[in-house]
Structure 1
Amino acid sequence: MAPVNLKAATKVYCSILFDHINPSPCTLCGQSDSGGLCADCLPLLPRVTEPICRCGLPHGDDSTTLADPVAPLCGRCVRQPPPFSASQAPLQYNFPVDALITRYKHRADLTVERAISPLLAETPLPWVDTDALCPLPVHWRRRWRRGFDQGAHLAHLLGRYWQRPVLPALVRQRATPSQQGLTRRQRQRNLRKAFECQRPVSGLRLILVDDVMTTGSSARAAAQCLLDHGAADVRVWTLARTLGHRRD
């Protein structure tokens, strides 16, 4: 078992307790509320519009070109199909979503979790044949520094809403450098043999859960690891998806 950073973990749990005792104002407008986002600001979060490709990008987005107007794949996925069979994200990784996720991931700001909870509660299970949710893991050193694993938090929150078990089947066996700022090719090299499957997954239909999909390199590597260990199917759900002309 990975060591626990007691200082960081205590900070997270104290944040939970304090937030319940003293609810913060709305994260965006600052008006008094029960914490998180108020009813006026929640609809302002930029949404991903359908139809979407297997990689999670809308077909109408400038970064994709349909190889066939009827086909479910964009041109990029036709050339290099991802190992996962589908992906979905309710939000675009633009302001204010990017700022909220940064606070959630790097500062363990759980008011953000409360802010997005109404959105998640209204999000139906996208694939009803799913057997379990699998968090996309962070390396134990990164989790130790933060005292927080955003993918695991999201997976357990969704598991309650979707009534599906959480199966932490993957571990990150290498402390890979941060993916931020890397090109698609650099990300792929960075993630070679990064994941290891530590639980039986043979025959299971799984949803990988994470906070953000950028180029999809982490999701590809994790999905391939699960499939190599016998998973019947892997889909990906992230809270947000990077759109537009980003570095890849």
Structure 2
Amino acid sequence: MAAGSALSIQASTFYDYPIRQAIRAFKHDEDMSKLPLMLHAIRQLPRPRGCHHDNAVIVAMPTTPQRLVKRGFDPVSILAAQLSKHWQIPLWQGVRRIDHTVSQQGLTRAERLSNLNNAFVLTETPPVKRLLLFDDVATTGASLQALGRALYKPATNTASASSLPTNRYHLSAYALAHGSQQ
């Protein structure tokens, strides 16, 4: 992603009632009874044109090891796995989230943007050029933008980095819910 460019985000719904309460209960209380509502919303996302299992992968928003331990599960990966099944496009997990970031919830837009500077690192070369970024909630889009920027940096292992002469990908971003109508 070139500096100063924006990544448009396609969301299935606004982050308002009842989806806001369902997402919060699922993420923070591991309330699996909310999963059917979220899966219904995910299925409203239109399949990206020209993308299929041979030329695209879904990149779920990575979480930190600390948050994974704290929650005991990765809610975004669960939702991304369902999206993968729905679209018949595989998941790819070649990006890692750096542990120095804090949760984006409750931060201002400026704080969200600075919190995510160098928040992600590419650990392997993507197997395809079409990368479909996915997050559960995209309030400002800062996390998805930061993830997109990480995909334009060389991989941390030298073998992968040397195989990326142009490092150009076609990025699309998707979220279960986006911002708010109000």
Give secondary structure in 1 for the equivalent of 2:174. strand
**Conserved 8 A contact 1:133-1:206:** yes
Tell me, in whole angstroms, the C-alpha distance in 1 between the residues paired with 2:119 and 2:45: 31
3-state SS, counterpart of residue 192 of structure 1? coil
- State whether residues 155 and 209 of structure 1, in contact with CA within 8 Å, keep that contact through their aligned partners in structure 2: yes
Matched, 1:81 2:5: yes
- Alignment of 1:167 with 2:92, yes or no, is yes
Normalized per residue, which structure has more strand? 2
1:199 aligns with 2:117: no
Query: Deviation of residue 126 (structure 1)?
Result: 2.8
Whether 1:235 aligns to 2:157 is no
Q: How many Å separate the matches in 2 of 1:216 and 1:122?
A: 20
Cα distance between partner residues in 1 of 2:40 and 2:115 = 35
1:203 deviates by: 5.0
Query: Quick check: which has more Rg, 1 or 2?
Result: 1
Q: Secondary structure at the match of 2:151?
A: helix
Mapped to 2, the partners of 1:234 and 1:106 lie a distance apart of 29
Count of matched residue pairs: 164
Q: Quick one: which amino acid aligns to residue 145 of structure 1?
A: K
Tell me by how many angstroms 1:244 deviates: 4.6
Report the equivalent of 1:93.
15
Q: Which has the higher contact order (CA 8 A, sep 6+)?
A: 2
User: 2:51 — aligned with what?
Assistant: 129
Structure 1: gaps (5+ residues) = 1-79
1:138-149 correspondence runs (5 A): 138-149=63-74
Deviations 1:111-157 (A, max 9, x none): 21122323434543134336000011111100111011121111110
- Equivalent pair of 1:92/1:243 in contact (CA under 8 Å): yes
Is 2:155 the counterpart of 1:226? no
User: When the two structures are superposed, what TM-score results if normalisation uses the length of structure 1?
Assistant: 0.61
For residue 15 of structure 2, what is the amino acid of its counterpart?
A: Y
% identical aligned pairs: 30
Judging changes above 3 Å, is the alpha-carbon distance between structure 1 residues 179 and 118 closer, same or farther for their aligned structure 2 residues? closer
SS at match of 2:67: helix
Structure 1 pair 111–205 and aligned structure 2 pair: CA distance change class (3 A): same
What RMSD over aligned residues (CA atoms) do the two structures have, in Å?
1.9
Deviations 1:16-52 (A, max 9, x none): xxxxxxxxxxxxxxxxxxxxxxxxxxxxxxxxxxxxx
Instruction: Please name the residue that 2:111 is paired with.
Output: 186
Query: Is 106-115 or 159-168 further displaced after alignment?
Result: 106-115
The TM-score with structure 2 as length reference comes to 0.82
Q: Partners in 2 of 1:197 and 1:103 — Cα distance?
A: 31
- Any conservation in 1 of the 2:23–2:38 contact (CA below 8 Å)? no
CA contact (8 A) 2:152 2:168 kept: yes
Change (3 A) 1:231 1:106: farther
